[in-house]
Structures are given as C-alpha cells and as structure tokens.
Amino acid sequence: MKNRLKVLRAERDWSQADLADRLEVSRQTINALETGKYDPSLPLAFKIARLFGQPIESIFQDEA
Amino acid sequence: MNLVSKSPKPRRHRLLQALVGAVVAAPLGYLFGGYLVSLEEAGAAVSVDLSWSDVLAVALAAMMALTGLITLLMSLSRRALGRQINPEEVRPATPAQAVFYAQNGFVLFLAGVMMATPVMVPLVFAPLSPMIASAAMAGLIALLLIQTAGNIAIWVRSDEFMRRAMGESAAISFAILQGLLFLWAAGEKLGLLPQLTLWDAASIMMAAYLVIGLFITWRRGLAS
C-alpha cells in the first residue's frame, strides 16, 4: 500500500520522531510506514487521518 | 521542510559500534578460551568436554549478554540513546523510551545468562554435586520467571509495529522449527539420523529464533 505520510509530514516540518510522538508510536514505526514496509492497523490509520485532517483514502492508496 | 535524509553519520556510528563490539568481544572470547584451557590443565578431575551444542549455546549466550549489557548501559544516557533511536536529529530519548530500552537490554542479558548457565555451572563446579545442580536449576527457574515478566512488560509497552515484528518472528520460528523437529524425529525413529539431546534442540531453537528475529528486523526496517 502506498501512502503520503512523508509528504504530509514534510509539509508540517515534522521529523519522524515528531510524528511518532503525536501518534504515540515509535519512530521506527513511522519509518516502516513511510518506506512501505508496514501497513498500519485500522485504528492507527484513523488516528493518522484525524491528525492530518484528511480522509484515510487520501493518505493511503491501494496499489492493486 | 524536514524530510528524513539518509546522512552518512548513522552509518559511521554503526561502523564505530561494530568496531567497539569487536574490540570488546574479542578479548572476552580470548579470556573465555583461556579459562577453558586452564580448566583442562587443572587436572584429571576437570574435563572440558564441550559438545557442539554447548559451544553454540555459549556463543549465543555471550552475544545476547553483551548486546543486552550494551543496550542496558546505553539506556542510562538519554542523549546516547536518543542518538540511536532518532538518527536524523539531535533529540534525547524520552524517559519512557529509556525504560523500554533498559527492559529490552535487561531481558536480553538475562537470556544470555540463562543460556550459559547449564554449560558453565558443570565446568566451574566440576565435579558437579546434586546440591549445586539443584541450586543452579532453582536459579534458572527464578530467572525464567523474571524474564517472562520482562517480556510481557516489553509486549505491553510496544506499539503495534513492534508487536507485529515479535509475532512474525515467533510464528515463522514455530513453523520452521516444528517442521524440522518432526523431520528429525522421524529420521531418528527410522534410524537414519543421529539422536539429538534436548539441549541440542534448545540451542538450535535459540539460534534459529535469533536469526529469524534479525531477518524480520531487517525486512521490516526496524534497524533503520
């Protein structure tokens, strides 16, 4: 699954650690999400969507 | 804009860590080897007869204990720990992160001690009396309980990604090892393969779990 996390984070001038603090996850989790090595659970995806004020489908896109 | 850049600095840090690890581990290995030789030379009462699984267990134990100790020591300095977990910026680790890494280091160190004990106790206390053996066994049970509590605490403190990595390591290890165990047991039953002791199996299981855990860590990008 593709996502726009890195772009959205950069627009806010947040580091991976900043975003991790806001989402209450580890920095490694943010890194894995951004590099496509991990797809978040639904609760975390909703949390990300709420944080950036955007619908989930505008942040995460199915590659299929 | 503050996109994460892959600067060469973390690579230098890792190289430095590898060098420090080698510098620390090599003399330890040398000292341990010297200790074994001295035991052998001490007399007929002391017989250093290590099987391949004993050597494997001690090597794994040394690796786990050393890595655990380094992690534990690093967690004492929030700045040093922060450099490790936030390589893209200067930011000290939070108290919660320091506790989390201290727990990880402690649990890994305990695992090393537990792995070495069944090999080292008969060497150090040769000839091994039933009382010493029982005391060592009681100590191992106590350490296992402490380590289990530590592992549960780590699981509770971990986020979903860390739990996924731990779950994957456990699931892949189980799938591979139960298949191999069955095949070996069948081969043994048919008289095609040599007998393994439970200690042989335990040493192989730990080695396989560590290798699989490292593979998952690399595949999921946990080390970056």
CB contact under 8 A, A25 and B224: no
The pLDDT value given to residue B9:
47
Q: Which one of B2, B159, B161 has the shortest CB-CB distance to A13?
A: B2
Those residues of chain B that have pLDDT short of 70 are 1-48, 224
Question: At the fourth CATH level, which superfamily is domain A2-59?
Answer: lambda repressor-like DNA-binding domains (1.10.260.40)
Name the residue among B109, B90, B213 with its Cα closest to residue B222.
Answer: B213
Question: What pLDDT was estimated at residue B84?
Answer: 82
Nearest to A27 among B3, B86, B164 (CB): B86
pLDDT in tens, A37-48: 999 999 999 999
Mutation target to probe the A interface, by most A beta carbons within 10 A, among B154, B159, B217 is B159
Q: Nearest chain A residue to B83 by CA: give it.
A: A17
Domain definitions of chain A by residue range:
2-59
Separation between Cα atoms, residue B54 and residue B204, nearest integer Å? 11
Joined together, the tokens standing for residue B138 give 């009681």
